[in-house]
């Protein structure tokens, strides 16, 4: 009799509670503090990822630890301070991603078996902490949502790498799904178009042309098979069709190059310089590859590239905000999530 009671007790202890589905929004990352030590920690993690810098050999380790991490954190910390959310003492990327998570949770609140959280690939909150939090809420299925419209190994793939690393330490793993890239998704293109049209209508001037600036990538990565450039072209072409613009009125460029290797071209900063010198006086820039405003949009585009444009003869420059947690932006995220949760809800 006692053995039967023991078996029944074990079954009872092992019986699962209410099953839940977890949704984890994941963006690139941010330093915890806008000072050199905080930026150094962030850059160390970011630039030590073999998906970002593929050759992690001795030469790179010398450059990273002996040069970059000694000087670059001070200069980048100054840039972060220009855009820092001083009220919350965090970067805008963290503020916006949290809000996206909160708004998605509110939109799915009628689905009581869904939990929503957010994480950063580099920095905090980490992907590990996000997955742990969802499992603690009883989630036995998790949908990872990399907030990158265009796929690249250095963004989307490294998110998956980290998610898999976290799951590899678990004996009882949750079932996993990952949302696909959405570079030409009709909901995404429509949201971009609405955002652009709304912003342009609010300006006191009419831009002569529009530039779509995407984060750059070493050309060698694309030559090895990364589809990122193809996705950026597809996004731009779809946006041109939706807005009724041709290639002379909606240009495609790439920003944020790093190091001495050749990157995808044309370069955004060189394009700003060229256009101004050719007589373009009014311009607007949209950054379709970013789901939330960050250092690359708020400082590099809205400040640095605006100055390049004006310094070379341009007069009016406007940076169009990312989709962020706007209604059109949240429509995109909600659409993606509900599509991928089919069969789980």
Which tens digit of pLDDT belongs to each residue from 312-338?
999 999 999 999 999 999 999 999 999
- pTM value is 0.92
Residue 116 has pLDDT above 80, yes or no: yes
CA atoms of 334 and 102, how far apart (whole Å)? 12
Q: Would you list the domain boundaries of the chain?
A: 20-182+329-340, 186-319
Is it true that 20-182+329-340 and 186-319 share their CATH fold? yes
Which tens digit of pLDDT belongs to each residue from 16-38?
445 899 999 999 999 999 999 99
Residue 165 has pLDDT above 70, yes or no: yes
pLDDT value for 259: 83
Respond yes or no on whether the N-terminal peptide bond of residue 125 is cis (omega within 30° of 0).
Answer: yes
Check whether domain 186-319 has CATH 3.40.50.1400, yes or no: yes
CA atoms of 160 and 96, how far apart (whole Å)? 22
Residue 139 has pLDDT above 90, yes or no: yes
CB 192 within 8 Å of CB 231: no
Q: Which of 246, 320, 318, 308 has its CA nearest to residue 277? A: 308
The CATH number of 20-182+329-340, from 3.40.50.1400, 3.30.460.80, 3.40.50.12170, 2.60.40.10, is: 3.40.50.1400
pLDDT value for 18: 52
DSSP conformational letter for 242:
H
Residues 320, 187, 292, CA angle at the centre, nearest 5°? Answer: 40
Q: Which of 296, 286, 297 has its CA nearest to residue 328? A: 286
pLDDT value for 130: 98
Residue 13 has pLDDT above 90, yes or no: no
Share of the chain above pLDDT 90, in %: 92
pLDDT value for 16: 47
Q: Which residue has the tokens 């850059």?
A: 43
Specify the DSSP element, H or E, that contains 25. strand 20-30
Which tens digit of pLDDT belongs to each residue from 55-114?
999 999 999 999 999 999 999 999 999 999 999 999 999 999 999 999 999 999 998 899
Which tens digit of pLDDT belongs to each residue from 209-267?
999 999 999 999 999 999 999 999 999 999 999 999 999 999 999 999 988 889 999 99
> What is the pLDDT confidence band of residue 42, given thresholds at 50, 70 and 90?
very high
210: helix, coil or strand? strand
176 contacts: CB under 8 Å, gap ≥ 6: 141, 142, 143, 144, 163, 167
Question: What phi and psi, each to the nearest 5 degrees, are found at residue 279?
Answer: 110, 0
pLDDT value for 10: 43
139 contacts: CB under 8 Å, gap ≥ 6: 20, 21, 22, 115, 174
DSSP conformational letter for 279:
T
CA atoms of 75 and 67, how far apart (whole Å)? 13
CA distances from 34 to 73, 76, 85 (A): 10, 9, 10
CA atoms of 62 and 84, how far apart (whole Å)? 31
Q: Between 261 and 47, whose confidence is greater?
A: 47
Residue 152 has pLDDT above 90, yes or no: yes
Burial of 248 (0-12, 13-18, 19+ CB in 10 A): exposed
90: helix, coil or strand? strand
Burial of 228 (0-12, 13-18, 19+ CB in 10 A): buried
CB 195 within 8 Å of CB 210: no
Specify the DSSP element, H or E, that contains 178. strand 175-178
CB 99 within 8 Å of CB 65: no
Mean pLDDT of the chain: 94
299 contacts: CB under 8 Å, gap ≥ 6: 79, 80, 82, 83
């Amino acid at each position: 009799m006692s053995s039967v009671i023991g078996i029944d007790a074990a079954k009872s202890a092992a019986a699962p509670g209410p099953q839940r589905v977890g949704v984890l929004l994941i963006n690139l990352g941010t330093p915890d503090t806008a000072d050199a030590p905080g930026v150094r920690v962030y850059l160390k993690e970011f630039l030590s990822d073999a998906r970002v810098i593929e050759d992690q050999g001795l030469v790179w380790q010398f450059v990273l630890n002996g040069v970059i991490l000694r000087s670059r954190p001070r200069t980048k910390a100054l840039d972060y301070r220009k855009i820092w959310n001083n009220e919350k003492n965090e970067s805008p990327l963290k503020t916006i991603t949290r809000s996206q998570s909160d708004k998605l949770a509110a939109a799915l609140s009628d689905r009581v078996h869904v939990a929503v959280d957010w994480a950063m690939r580099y920095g905090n909150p980490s992907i590990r902490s996000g997955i742990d939090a969802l499992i603690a809420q009883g989630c036995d299925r998790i949908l990872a949502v990399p907030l990158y419209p265009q796929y690249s190994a250095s963004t989307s793939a490294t998110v998956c790498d980290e998610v898999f690393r976290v799951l590899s330490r678990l004996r009882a793993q949750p079932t996993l799904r990952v949302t696909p890239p959405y570079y030409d998704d009709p909901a995404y293109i429509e949201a971009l178009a609405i955002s652009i049209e709304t912003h342009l209508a609010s300006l006191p001037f009419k831009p002569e042309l529009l530039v779509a600036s995407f984060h750059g990538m070493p050309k060698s990565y694309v030559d090895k098979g990364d589809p990122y450039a193809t996705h950026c072209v597809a996004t731009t072409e779809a946006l041109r069709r939706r807005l009724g613009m041709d290639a002379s009125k909606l240009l495609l460029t790439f920003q944020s190059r790093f190091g001495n290797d050749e990157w995808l071209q044309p370069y955004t900063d060189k394009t700003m310089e060229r256009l101004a010198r050719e007589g373009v006086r009014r311009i607007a820039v949209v950054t379709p590859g970013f789901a939330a405003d960050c250092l690359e949009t708020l400082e590099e585009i809205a400040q640095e590239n605006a100055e390049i444009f004006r310094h070379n003869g341009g007069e009016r420059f406007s940076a169009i905000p990312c989709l962020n947690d706007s209604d059109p932006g949240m429509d995109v995220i909600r659409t993606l999530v509900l599509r991928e949760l089919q069969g789980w809800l």
